[in-house]
Amino acid sequence: MSFLKPKDVIDEGDTVILYISVNSMHVIEATPTIVNKKGETIEHIFQTSFGALKVRNIIGVKYGSRVELSKGYAFVLLPNPELWTQTLPHRTQIIYTPDISMILHQLEVRPGSIVVESGTGSGSLSHYLLRAVKPHGHLHTFDFHEARANQARDEFQHHGLGDFVTVYHRDVCENGFGEELDGKADAVFLDLPAPQLAVPHAFKALKASGGRFCSFSPCIEQSQRVCVALQELGFTEIQSYEILQQEDIVKTKTFPIMDLEFLKTKKTASSEEENSEKDLTKILKQPRDTIKVLTSSAPPTQPGHTGFLTFATLQPAFAR
């Protein structure tokens, strides 16, 4: 029940984030015992690069507390969508925070929204959508792979989010979203190999009052096909974005200050050549003052490509 609402103390069965460093985080279940491959019930001991953790010791501990490992320490954190994206078990390739932030903004998802998602996958984006639509909205998410759909359904239930999401096993390119969702959605999101085939179904699912559409595609050719399908159905404000996150290098640098006072003195033509060498020697021998400046520079390597986000608006029925 860790994702449902903020809480202070770890209860048995909670999903907990074990934080060692920004590059070393693990998701664990707060259960004192587990069943091994032989079917035997044994004590739940979680192994990390800094030693072992007896999981029973974190039950009843406050979230945010430091816990001891056999060769170091870690912190136990309350999970949220951002931490879950960094630690979730990957069933498929997932969408990360830079793209997700743009998706949520462009789809105008808010409490009470009805959202249709196709391509549940590992549930990375789904957790963000659920946080945004609670407590009165609902997420309808589809996956063509039955095992992944079942795993996602169990995961949402375990996280306490089952009341806000319905998981379907269906190929939406072939069978659509179902008549029960026609005209019900405020927003539709597609993450499919051939998203243009599902655009007509997205058109049917959006409300008569209009709504927003988004498709995530690794290749520009997929995005182009989606744009054509959207234009044919009367969507407007069609735009494609590529989100690249770049972390600038910020550091303090020291620069010498040049003394240019001698330039302010007016010199005659005869004395200029005579004194120039002496002035230069004098300047070079003088200790230079320095100034510290906070600088920002681009990293030596640029971030790699993730995918293209195609957005569009379906106008209200009377304006189409």
Whether the predicted pLDDT of 101 surpasses 70? yes
Question: Are 133 and 223 found together in one domain?
Answer: yes
What is the model's pLDDT at position 278? Answer: 60
* Domain co-membership, 91 together with 239: yes
Among 79, 104, 134, give the residue marking a domain's end: 79
Nearest one of 60, 58, 4, 1 to 26, comparing CA atoms = 58
pLDDT, one tens digit per residue, over 152-171 is 999 999 999 999 999 999 99
In the numeric block, which tokens belong to residue 180?
Answer: 């029960």
Cα–Cα distance measured from residue 294 to residue 105, given in angstroms and rounded to the nearest whole number? 32
Local confidence band at 264 (pLDDT 50, 70, 90 cut-offs):
low
Q: Please indicate, yes or no, if residue 163 is contained in any of the structural domains.
A: yes
- Domain holding 37, by residue range, is 9-79
pLDDT at site 88: 92
- 294 or 289, which is more confident? 294
pLDDT at 304 over 70: no
Query: What is the token pair recorded at 4?
Result: 């449902």
| 224 shares a domain with 195 | yes
pLDDT band for position 289 (cuts 50, 70, 90): confident
Q: Are residues 126 and 182 in the same domain?
A: yes
Say yes or no: 310 and 165 in one domain: yes
207 pLDDT higher than 90: yes
Residue at a domain's end among 61, 79, 97:
79
Rounded CA separation 229/197 (Å): 8
143 assigned ligand-binding residue: yes
Residues recorded for the chain? 320
Calpha distance 99→255 (Å, rounded): 39
Q: Residue 90 maps to which CATH number?
A: 3.40.50.150
DSSP strand pairing (165-169 vs 138-143): parallel
122 is in an annotated binding site: yes
Residue 14 assigned to a binding site: no
Which pTM value belongs to this model? 0.82
Tell me how many domains the chain contains.
2
Phi, psi angle pair for 198, to nearest 5°: -95, -5
Beta bridge partners of 189: 117, 214
Whether residue 171 is annotated as binding a ligand: the answer is yes
**How does pLDDT run across 233-242, given as a tens digit for each residue?**
999 999 999 9
CATH (domain of 60): 3.10.330.20
Last residue of a domain, one of 79, 100, 117: 79
Q: Is there a single domain that holds both residue 30 and residue 13?
A: yes
- Looking up tokens 């595609």, which residue turns up? 217
Q: Is 191 annotated as a binding residue?
A: yes
Q: What is the pLDDT of residue 281?
A: 62
Q: What pLDDT score was predicted for residue 109? A: 96
Q: What's the rounded Cα separation, in Å, for the pair 316 and 208? A: 6
Per DSSP, helices labelled H in the chain are: 81-87, 97-107, 124-133, 146-158, 172-175, 199-205, 220-232, 269-285
Question: For all residues of the chain together, what is the average pLDDT?
Answer: 89
